Structure 1
Amino acid sequence: MPVDFLTTEQTESYGRFTGEPDELQLARYFHLDEADKEFIGKSRGDHNRLGIALQIGCVRFLGTFLTDMNHIPSGVRHFTARQLGIRDITVLAEYGQRENTRREHAALIRQHYQYREFAWPWTFRLTRLLYTRSWISNERPGLLFDLATGWLMQHRIILPGATTLTRLISEVREKATLRLWNKLALIPSAEQRSQLEMLLGPTDCSRLSLLESLKKGPVTISGPAFNEAIERWKTLNDFGLHAENLSTLPAVRLKNLARYAGMTGTVAKLAMRQPFVLFKGLTFQKLCLPGAFRPGDHHNKMLRPGLCVVHASPQYL
């Protein structure tokens, strides 16, 4: 699965400032209480006190530490300096001259405020959360990225690199999808598998495959169209898959898969994914079959009472 799914906004805002924080954000993430000031006061010099105070605010707001203090907006620097009684914020330039100082301060902050690196068991817990969401609803990877970022910050985990997180999300989504396919593959019998594979073959009187032919329902309201719908139902019903129990599989994932099967117009797309064909045919019949015989939604209001049976589920025809 692709790993470059982040939007430009997500890439630019991950662990970085994208502008001046508003007043609510300043009050929530950069306010220093008495306990903070006591911890900060252990550092010598205004430059060190201002520097470590800004790092505390950055890890709360961004989820990570900054190596270049020049990337901190001016409003944040002034807001923090006023709380410490520091009038000249240019002293911050002296703080950035020693890399060892920044590393030492980051270690002190992690220890004092109980921030943790992205390692076991937090990697396992996040993976479990992402897998559960991917298995149940197949959410877009961008949403999972935002979910993971919020979860890491909530649990005081230092954000890993964006590539690390996107790769994890892609791997988790792929595993969830493969699990769904494997479970679906176990449902049809050997005979039903052979029947489903026949869906890819062309019909006798058309260049279209049987699957594509069955996806096209009647578009007119007439007696022949009704008979055509019945024959179409009989053909699908002969596969014998409508009685299979899919209750143990996530309904949202199955509906998405069935919708994709209904939109796929080229047999080659399915043929490239054997045995994915079996899953497509199974979910198409199981989930799309009940509503497959409507003679066009735009004609629904024009249906005569005698034709309303066309809307019924195949089990009741």
Structure 2
Amino acid sequence: MNTETMLMMYLADCEQRARLDWKTVKAYRCDLRQFCLFLNGRPLCRSLLEDYLTHLHAHYAPRSVRRKLASLHAFFSYLVFHERIEENPLDKIRTHFQKPLPLPRTISPARLQHFFRYLYRQADLADTPLRQMSALCNVALFELLFSTGVRISELCQLRIGDVDLLAHTLRIRGKGKKERLLSIGSPCARRALKAYHRVAHGHAQTQDFFFRNRNGRAISDQSVRLLLQNYSRTCDDHPHITPHMFRHTFASMLLEDDVDIRCIQHILGHSSITTTQIYTHVSDAKQKEILQTKNPRDRLTRSCRIAEIIDC
């Protein structure tokens, strides 16, 4: 049985037996096919694996390399279990390397203010019912994205029945099909949701998607990214914003306001507190910036004698 056939069997097993999320399976498929292309029909051996690792390190960031190796390791373990190979060849290769800590990218309050003004201005200028519905959809979507910290994929998959406009709550289906209930605490987000619901869901069913495109289908992650790219090109001199930056900004600002990290973990839907702790590093960086640029001591003049000693 060739490698391609075994790969298809493994991916089918991931979907049907392990019930992995479709995005996880998609990542496995991409990573493993990349490995198959690298092999190009050559028999697998240790030197070839080491060449592949060198290739990955030369072309990808450490985080991507770790993911691709994890995909490959899982595939080899599957082959060992089904007795297609005798042992996992990665077990004999040292793959440990220093992983740099990637700090989450956030959006400044001034830039956020400018972005929301842009969205509301587009809603005010909408001159047809279709354009108004599209503009109100964008306002409601980004108001929720920033005021609740949900993932963009979670937001795009919201059903009408998941949004309770009376109790001001959202039922979110997160990773691993785990559900959590979030309060819509922002008055701006509440008003935006009601305005969009009024023009978009007159006779809709509770199982219909809440955020829909012009064809009535669920709005896609990619369409949200394209909207942000368009905004960055036309209204902003800074690098483009990504949907996940709203989530990072939300969590970082909560931490700066002394919200308990366990509460932030629950709101974000993190299964492990370790994932949430990345935002403590952002808070530390912010603290360093404040103490260096806005330190109250620097507002006072130094004692002349001490200044002379220091200057010497």
TM-score interval for Structure 1 and Structure 2 normalised by the shorter chain: under 0.3
TM-score (norm. length: structure 2) = 0.25
TM-score by structure 1 length? 0.25
